Structure 1
């Protein structure tokens, strides 16, 4: 090997050891300078190298005889900074923090071997660091995945809990049908929002002291919890008034007057039905509600007279101007519903025209399942979604 190259490397090593440059940095510096200087020495070109050490810092400058391309500089084990005149400079920090001794600089082959071992050790350390990082990332990813799984499980638990609460709330807001000999009752509620059990469409039914079955169907203006509260207020007011013995024709107007001071913003349509199970005698009072449908056992289906419609609670001049009376024969079914049933296609007249043939076709279904099947058929196309309640009363 050319002696000048050997002396150059010895000089670089001595400067590194004097400044306390770590072993792997010294190895990369010596190898980088060797790769640049060796071709110049072989070609007989001068190689000018200067070292400046101070305050545990080392600067090494090399002035090559010909410019070094940027890609070659970038490919060196320790890339230098390039000045405008082509001078290449390396800046290294000395002071080995571990207090280890230098690699030595007397024997070139021994020093080169030691430098190669330092580079290998550095590469091994980097490889181990990479493995540790991958392991940490894998553990982190595993932890994140476990967290997502736990969150999904908790979310599922919350969904089940919400569903249970909704069912309990529905049971509280929508009482089951009373058991009345001679009368079959069924109801189905379809909310606008399937994730919410509340809305402005509520019903109430109970047996009066004289044995008659009283049914209240309310559709409060608005949506959500406020409309639910309004509808619940109306059903409770009418239940109290009915149990106190107030006449059926007066219930809507009296409830409206009673609630005006309590809920001044409340507005709701109301339909009342009073059925005598023994005789089938049925009386209806309506405050702004869609006309009920009567389906006879022999297949006749019709809407009850329009003059049953009055004004609801909270409206001007509330109450039902007259009652509609009908005798239910055995097998006859009376359908009470809110406007969500017949307005799914935005046209209530079209909806009521579709309702009658469907009610006629489904008249043999049990009263307990008839409302659900009717809603399913009527809501085959939904252009306008609204809460829907359908009640079936059948004399058995």
Structure 2
């Protein structure tokens, strides 16, 4: 079939009848009618005719209707993009649709007779059918959209519930991890020895609260002659790896001290003992010995911050002892500093996390002197925590922090026999966040 048309209404009904004769679905029919009339309308407005040609093709696996709209006098090629029904084939003045037919055995019906006014109800009925098909499609799409939204909401709720479960699981793992580390910390931390005339307390805070073990460790114990030995270690790094290094140092120092080696030789001996097993180990170490009966104090240092001595009636002062730490060149203490403590004197041992929290060592040491002056009158169990809180009002550089306080209360009575000292098993210790008095 090939006909020339001058009127859009006649063309529209011709296309509709043709589509119905080939049993095209109402929604496809409606799209085809709109596409043909959209392309033909500009030509009709310009006073130009269009030609509609239909060909049935039954040679393919699926029979199809090939419908071509030609505008012989078109000023420009007809557009094919954005049509309700896509036209895969275009030329300079024509557009062709290849429409698969729903019935494989379908062929063209007999051409519809010429229209008359009596055929108007049939035209309206066909248009209504196309409109109903379009509305039904819109309803289906709307229903599918609602279903997708519901499924998406359920999926989102499931994902949210999964996130909540994972977060709860992570929290449980973090708590279990923290509990294991706290138990490890408790296993490494010795209780203070009970010694007449001497009070002891300690504070520890990690650089990372999620990793409460670190490289700042301490150890305190009584030697056979009744003097008290204290070791403070700051191993390079953070976390469990630095803890391992600090533990080996404290254990080596304890062993050498209990074997009776002189204080000035212990740091160098510790270095030579440990380097073959851990060549990467680096640690600053402070060794202090105090005779509670006489107040005699000895200090040996390996690159460690100096202890601070506070005495009533005078400003606190640092007890400087030179030396180099474990893993440093020429390790060992150059000299042993000797001092005498009197009843009421307070000695504070610490790591650099206490004085370098604001990245200024000189300013940190000045503030430490003022903090000790301010809090020295407190009970011994409160002093390390109070000093640490005063020093950490502003933290620009987070680091493990240890503060250990020793205070002479009264000279222990000199006795010809064994002094009143309760000794602990030989083990290194880990500092605690809580004060121990």
| TM-score (norm. length: structure 2) | 0.74
Gaps of 5+ in 2: 1-7, 113-121, 410-437
Distance in 2, Cα, partners of 1:104 & 1:302: 117
Check whether the contact 1:23–1:118 (CA below 8 A) recurs between aligned residues.
Answer: yes
Please tell me whether residue 162 in structure 1 is matched to residue 177 in structure 2: yes
Deviation at 1:234, TM superposition (A): 0.9
Seen in structure 2, the aligned counterparts of structure 1 residues 69 and 303 have a Cα distance that, compared at 3 Å, is same
Matches within 5 A, 1:4-83: 6-14=13-21, 16-17=22-23, 21-33=24-36, 46-54=49-57, 55=60, 56-64=63-71, 77-78=84-85, 80=87, 83=90
Task: Indicate the SS of the match to 1:367.
Answer: coil
Distance in 2, Cα, partners of 1:105 & 1:169: 95
Check whether the contact 1:13–1:30 (CA below 8 A) recurs between aligned residues.
Answer: no
Please tell me whether residue 241 in structure 1 is matched to residue 256 in structure 2: yes
Seen in structure 2, the aligned counterparts of structure 1 residues 60 and 255 have a Cα distance that, compared at 3 Å, is same
Deviation at 1:5, TM superposition (A): 5.8
Deviation at 1:294, TM superposition (A): 0.8
Task: Indicate the SS of the match to 1:245.
Answer: coil
Gaps of 5+ in 1: none
Seen in structure 2, the aligned counterparts of structure 1 residues 273 and 344 have a Cα distance that, compared at 3 Å, is same
Structure with greater helix share of residues: 1
Check whether the contact 1:205–1:213 (CA below 8 A) recurs between aligned residues.
Answer: yes
Distance in 1, Cα, partners of 2:356 & 2:13: 98
Check whether the contact 1:334–1:392 (CA below 8 A) recurs between aligned residues.
Answer: yes
Distance in 1, Cα, partners of 2:88 & 2:362: 86
Please tell me whether residue 95 in structure 1 is matched to residue 116 in structure 2: no
Using the TM superposition, name which of 47-56 and 60-69 deviates more. Answer: 60-69
Give the alignment's Cα RMSD to 1 decimal.
Answer: 3.9
Q: Specify the alignment match of 2:391 in structure 1.
A: 378
Check whether the contact 1:215–1:274 (CA below 8 A) recurs between aligned residues.
Answer: yes
Distance in 2, Cα, partners of 1:385 & 1:194: 11
The higher-RCO structure (CA 8 Å, 6+ apart) is 2
Question: Which residue of 209, 214, 217 corresponds with 2:232?
Answer: 217
Task: Indicate the SS of the match to 1:204.
Answer: strand
**Cα deviation 1:99-155 (Å, max 9, x = unaligned):** 99x999975454444333333322222222222222222222222222222233233
Q: Specify the alignment match of 1:390 in structure 2.
A: 403
Distance in 1, Cα, partners of 2:328 & 2:401: 22
Please tell me whether residue 121 in structure 1 is matched to residue 121 in structure 2: no
Seen in structure 2, the aligned counterparts of structure 1 residues 62 and 221 have a Cα distance that, compared at 3 Å, is closer
Deviation at 1:59, TM superposition (A): 2.1
Seen in structure 2, the aligned counterparts of structure 1 residues 318 and 141 have a Cα distance that, compared at 3 Å, is closer
Deviation at 1:62, TM superposition (A): 2.0
Check whether the contact 2:354–2:388 (CA below 8 A) recurs between aligned residues.
Answer: yes
Count of paired positions: 388
Task: Indicate the SS of the match to 2:332.
Answer: coil
Distance in 1, Cα, partners of 2:69 & 2:45: 17
Check whether the contact 2:78–2:94 (CA below 8 A) recurs between aligned residues.
Answer: no
**Cα deviation 1:285-306 (Å, max 9, x = unaligned):** 22332221111244541222x3
Q: Specify the alignment match of 2:422 in structure 1.
A: none
Seen in structure 2, the aligned counterparts of structure 1 residues 27 and 68 have a Cα distance that, compared at 3 Å, is farther
Check whether the contact 1:252–1:287 (CA below 8 A) recurs between aligned residues.
Answer: yes
Check whether the contact 1:28–1:119 (CA below 8 A) recurs between aligned residues.
Answer: no
Task: Indicate the SS of the match to 1:271.
Answer: strand
Please tell me whether residue 139 in structure 1 is matched to residue 154 in structure 2: yes
Matches within 5 A, 1:350-365: 350-365=363-378
Task: Indicate the SS of the match to 2:323.
Answer: coil
Deviation at 1:185, TM superposition (A): 1.5
Task: Indicate the SS of the match to 1:58.
Answer: strand
